[in-house]
Structure 1
């Protein structure tokens, strides 16, 4: 089970992979990314095009083309990826999906879910895209089953 949509899961894994592989200024192609994050290539291509349009990642065409992240992009919070793909509902939405839920009209889960939602928000806004590079490169953390 995940708190993110499947699209967002693929986006997060792909961006982390791109970040870890392009720190040295190189670029990585869609086929390599899809293989290393266990994602369907065509679907991932659409996700990465959207992230590129939204300024989360960069891309270049041509024989030396591919996807990459700038040093500045590595400092962005991972909440930027989540917002770009899934919107901001994870940061503000009701745990039961009710549109009327608020401080004034709380649902049964409102007060407890708000605490969890706030912790998730803090983690996503306080963690940078490039923060995992070293552990990914050392194989301490994984983006797919070995």
Structure 2
């Protein structure tokens, strides 16, 4: 079970892969990223364009081009990736997907889900891309089997 859309999952995995390769001084193309995160390349290319437009990753054209990270981008929270791809629904949305659910008009799951949603929000806002990148570099985490 996943809490993010498939698009957001690919975006996060791509960001982590790019950050890991950038640490080693490389710029990577969409084909390499797609192969290493098990994503369809044409779909991933659109995601990477969006992430680049949002300033979450950098890109360079040409024979030595590709996607990469600068030091400042590593300090961005994971919440920025989620918001860029899926919007803010995970941070404010109803567990049942009801548009009218609110504090004044709660659904049956409102109070319990609000606690879970708030913990997820804090985790995504307080965890930087760089934190996960260090885990990948030290091989504490993996993006692919």
TM-score w.r.t. the length of structure 1 is: 0.96
Structure 2: how far apart are the matches of 1:113 and 1:36? 34
Q: Which residue of structure 2 aligns with residue 104 of structure 1?
A: 104
In the TM superposition, residue 136 of structure 1 has moved relative to its aligned partner by 1.1
Q: Which residue of structure 2 aligns with residue 57 of structure 1?
A: 57
Structure 1: how far apart are the matches of 2:6 and 2:25? 29
Structure 1: how far apart are the matches of 2:135 and 2:85? 25
Aligned pairs for 1:45-84 (under 5 A) are 45-84=45-84
Q: Which residue of structure 1 aligns with residue 43 of structure 2?
A: 43
Aligned pairs for 1:11-22 (under 5 A) are 11-22=11-22
Structure 2 regions of 5+ residues with no counterpart?
A: none
RMSD over aligned Cα atoms: 1.0
Aligned pairs for 1:4-15 (under 5 A) are 4-15=4-15
Q: Which residue of structure 2 aligns with residue 113 of structure 1?
A: 113
Structure 1: how far apart are the matches of 2:133 and 2:4? 21
1:2 aligns with 2:19: no
Structure 2: how far apart are the matches of 1:138 and 1:126? 21
Residue 59 of structure 1 aligns to a residue whose secondary structure is strand
Q: Which residue of structure 2 aligns with residue 133 of structure 1?
A: 133
Structure 1: how far apart are the matches of 2:50 and 2:3? 21
In the TM superposition, residue 138 of structure 1 has moved relative to its aligned partner by 3.2
TM-score w.r.t. the length of structure 2 is: 0.96
Structure 2: how far apart are the matches of 1:31 and 1:22? 16
Size of the aligned set, in residue pairs, is 145
Structure 1 regions of 5+ residues with no counterpart?
A: none
Structure 1: how far apart are the matches of 2:128 and 2:103? 30
Residue 131 of structure 2 aligns to a residue whose secondary structure is helix
